[in-house]
Amino acid sequence: MEFIIFDLEWNSVKKPDDGKFINEIIEIGAVLLNEQLQETDSFSALIRPSISEKLNSYVKSLTHIQEEQLKNQPDFLTVIQTFKRWANRKNCVFLSWSNTDLHVLAENYDCFLHQHKVDFIRQYADLQKYVSLFLKTENNNQVALGAAAEQLGVDTRQFALHRALDDSRLCAALLRQTYQKKRFKPYISNVLAGTFYERLLFKPYYITDPDSPLLDKKIFMPRCPQCGKKLQRTGKIRQNNALLQANYRCEKCDAAYRLRVKCKKTYDTIDIKRNLALRRPKAVVSEQPGDAVGS
Ligand SMILES: [Zn+2]
C-alpha cells in the first residue's frame, strides 16, 4: 500500500452564474509515500483561477501567494489532469488534514467538470481524525495542523506553513510519528462506494418550520422544572432566526417560561438543543392565559 497526502490552497469567491460561494483552488501539493512512509515523489502546482483573479487579502497573507504569480499558470482543468495522471495508482490511500480539502476538491470538480465524485480517489482517510487519537484535545475540537505538530514534537520550522506542498510534507511527518497499521486501518473509507460523497457534501441546516414532518411534536411539550407538570403553551411556536420559540406557563406554580429550540439537520441525524428559561415576573403580570405573547 502507498499513501498520497495532498493539500490545497483556495480563494473563496462568488460564482457569477448563481451567486453562490465556492472555494476556488489555486494550489495543489502532494507527496507520495511508500509502505515505509518514505517520500518517493512529490507534486506541486499553482493554478490560474478562472472565476476571480483577485485573491482575498486573507488568502494572500496566509499563503504569501500573489495574484501576479498565478497569471501565467495553467487552469484547474489542466492541472487536475496532470495531478490525476500523477496520482492514479493502484492500492493507494489518499489523505488530507481534515476532509475539508476533499470537500473543496469535490466542489471544484463539480464546478469545472460537472461531476462531484473525484474519480481517481478510491480510498481516503482523514488524517486529522486519525492523528487526534494521539492528541490531548478538548471537546473533540478540530486541531490545526501546526498545533498538532507542536503536541507531537514535530519541528515545523523547516516547513512553509499554509503552502500546499509543505503542508503535505508536515502531514507526512505527523503520519510517520503516529502510524500504527492496525489503528489506522479503520480510518480508510472506500469513497466511490455507498453514500460517502452524499455525506461529505451534505450541508447541515436549521429546521425553522414548526410544522416540519422531521420534528417530533414532543419537543414543544416541556414540563415545569419546579413541579414536573406539563406546561401550557400560551402562544404560537414562532421562528426567531435559526431558533423556534414559544411561551408557556405553569398554573400550579404561577410561572411563565420561554422555550427556545434549535433543530439542526445533519445527513443522518436531527440535533435538538432546547433551552427553557423562566420569564421575568413583569411579563407574567401583563400576560393573559391563552393569548399570544409578544417578546
Ligand atoms: Zn409547575
Q: Angle of helix 76-87 relative to helix 100-113, nearest 10 degrees?
A: 120
Q: In b/e form, how buried is each residue of 219-228, taking b as 16+ CB within 10 angstroms?
A: bbebebeeee
Q: What percent of the chain has pLDDT over 70?
A: 94
CA distance 130 to 64: 29
- Measured in Å, residue 211 CA sits from the centre of ligand 1 at 27
- Measured in Å, residue 294 CA sits from the centre of ligand 1 at 22
Identify the DSSP state of 242. T
pLDDT at position 140:
56
- Measured in Å, residue 215 CA sits from the centre of ligand 1 at 25
Q: What is the mean pLDDT of residues 74-78?
A: 97
Q: What is the mean pLDDT of residues 38-56?
A: 94
pLDDT tens digit string along 213-253?
999 999 999 999 999 999 999 999 999 999 999 999 999 99
SS3 256: strand
Helices (H), ranges, 13-117:
57-63, 67-70, 76-87, 100-113
**Ion ligand 1 contact residues with beta carbon within 5 A:** 224, 226-227, 250, 252-253
Longest distance between any two alpha carbons in the chain, whole Å: 76
- Measured in Å, residue 85 CA sits from the centre of ligand 1 at 69
Q: How many helices (H) and strands (E) does the chain have?
A: 10, 12
The pTM of the full predicted model, rounded to 2 decimals, is 0.78
CA-based radius of gyration for the chain: 25
